[in-house]
Amino acid sequence: KTRGCNINGLKDLNKLKGELSIEGLGGGRVKEIDAKKAQLKEKHELIGVKFYFEGNASEQRGLLEALEPPHKIERLGNCGYKGDGPTWYLDTNYGKLPMLCLKGCASWVTVIGIKSLEELEVSGCPTLCELPIMPLLKSLEISKCDGLNTIGDFRALKWLKLFNLNILKQLPTSLPSLEKLDMKNLPNWESTFTSMPCLRKVSFENCPKMRTVLGDFPHAYTK
């Protein structure tokens, strides 16, 4: 873990291993030129990178552009970022990424279509309007994303957690691999499930328009 003001110390650490968290990005603490000198892209032995941003969107945009992570990482996280996606944020660069976490990214419009993605967590991203097809996705957690009104068909999904989504209306009617379903504060969700043969645990709270009833899940533990 490093604070933004100490980012210069990363320049010569090309053998850095494990997971790296960089906090305090923005607020005048870090210059874009220093972020580039850190040469984060060359830290090929890192398996995870997580950014924590402060300050204004224009400053953050330059910093994130300069802090391109190595392309073979397994976990990527971005918290508190106010700008749009950087140019390196492409599925061609991170086509083997298994885990992505986006929190408090106010202008993040979409999740890139990473076919290898197995775990996705998105929270506080109000402009996010759609999710791409992710055939290997097993765990999906979404909260406070008021631009999202539908969720696509994820046939490998085992765990689905949806909290505080004000305009979400529809989910796939068939989730054949789903084992755990957790839904809370979905005021406009109306859709009904027809096929969830693997479901073992389900929780609904404050879903006033829900058409599905708990008796539709005879093999699931409900609460």
Q: Cβ-count burial of 53 within 10 angstroms (0-12 exposed, 13-18 middle, 19+ buried)? A: buried
- Mean pLDDT highest for which of 101-105, 128-132, 164-168? 101-105
Mean pLDDT, the chain, rounded, equals 86
Of 181 and 214, which is predicted with more confidence? 181
Average pLDDT over residues 60-85: 93
Does 5 have pLDDT greater than 50? Answer: no
DSSP conformational letter for 5: G
